[in-house]
Amino acid sequence: MEKRKIKNLNLFTIKFPITALVSILHRMSGVALFIFMPFLVIAFCNSLKSLASYEVTISLLSTFPFVAIFYSMLWGIIHHLIAGLRHLLLDMQIGNDLIMARLSSKSVLVLSFLGTFIVIYLV
């Protein structure tokens, strides 16, 4: 009788390589943008109705949960853009070796967080 190997299916204990982490974050940021973008468009349309609705929308969006959602969407847009460009380069067979793939993954993470902090600072 063969010994069965124990398989670890707990995703929180598996150590993913940096390239897989960037790919997963790219997909998650795309899904989050797809889910939250209609709410942002509705808020924008509501703010254009009148001056009173603009003030109500701005005061509502200035509360903590909406600011956190806005900052996470901002990071999602920047990360999705940079990681998407990285994936396009990989599709063109640029940077497919392991060293360049790891370096580009790390640079995507650094640039997305740095870009988010710069935009938050400027706004």
Stated pTM of the model: 0.84
SS (H, E, C) 18-60: HHHHHHHHHHHHHHHHHHHHHHHHHHHHHHCCCHHHHHHHHHH
Confidence at residue 1, expressed as pLDDT on a 0 to 100 scale: 63
Confidence at residue 12, expressed as pLDDT on a 0 to 100 scale: 80
Tens-digit pLDDT profile for residues 39-48: 999 999 999 9
Structural domains of the chain sorted by starting position, each given as residue range(s) with its CATH number in brackets: 18-122 (1.20.1300.10)
Residues of the chain with pLDDT under 70: 1
Confidence at residue 81, expressed as pLDDT on a 0 to 100 scale: 97
**Among candidates 77, 78, 79, 69, which has minimal Cα distance to 43?**
69
